[in-house]
Amino acid sequence: MKKLAVVAIGGNAINRPGEKPTAENMFKNIKVTASYLADMIELGYRIIITHGNGPQVGNLLVQQDIAKDTIPPFPMDVLGAMTQGYLGYMISQELKNVLNERKIDKEIATVVTQIVVNKDDPGFKNPTKPVGPFYSEEEAKKIMKEKGWLFKEDAGRGWRRVVPSPIPLDVIEKRTIKDLVENDVIVVAGGGGGIPVIIDEKGEIKGVEAVIDKDRASALIAKELDADEFIILTAVEKVYLNFNKPDQKPLDTITVKEAEKYMNEGHFAKGSMLPKIEACISFVTSTNRPALITDMEKLKDALEGKTGTRIIP
- One-letter amino acid at 174 equals K
| Catalytically annotated residue among 214, 223, 271, 308 | 214
Q: Residue 287: left if φ>0, alpha if ψ -120 to 50, beta else—which one?
A: alpha
- One-letter amino acid at 130 equals P
Tell me whether residue 68 is one of the annotated catalytic residues. no
User: What distance in Å separates the CA atoms of residue 292 and residue 302, rounded to the nearest whole number?
Assistant: 8
| Catalytically annotated residue among 191, 192, 276, 308 | 276
Tell me whether residue 214 is one of the annotated catalytic residues. yes
| Catalytically annotated residue among 10, 12, 193, 194 | 12
Q: Are strands 46-51 and 4-9 parallel, antiparallel or unpaired?
A: parallel
Contacts of 59 (CB under 8 A, 6+ apart): 21, 132, 133
User: What distance in Å separates the CA atoms of residue 285 and residue 281, rounded to the nearest whole number?
Assistant: 6
Gyration radius from the chain CA atoms = 19
Tell me whether residue 11 is one of the annotated catalytic residues. yes
The dihedral built from the CA positions of residue 97, 6, 156 and 60, taken in this order, carries a sign that is positive
User: What distance in Å separates the CA atoms of residue 200 and residue 204, rounded to the nearest whole number?
Assistant: 5
Tell me whether residue 129 is one of the annotated catalytic residues. yes
| Catalytically annotated residue among 52, 54, 88, 129 | 129
Contacts of 219 (CB under 8 A, 6+ apart): 6, 230, 279, 280, 282, 283, 291
Question: Which residues participate in catalysis according to the annotation?
Answer: 11-12, 129, 214, 276
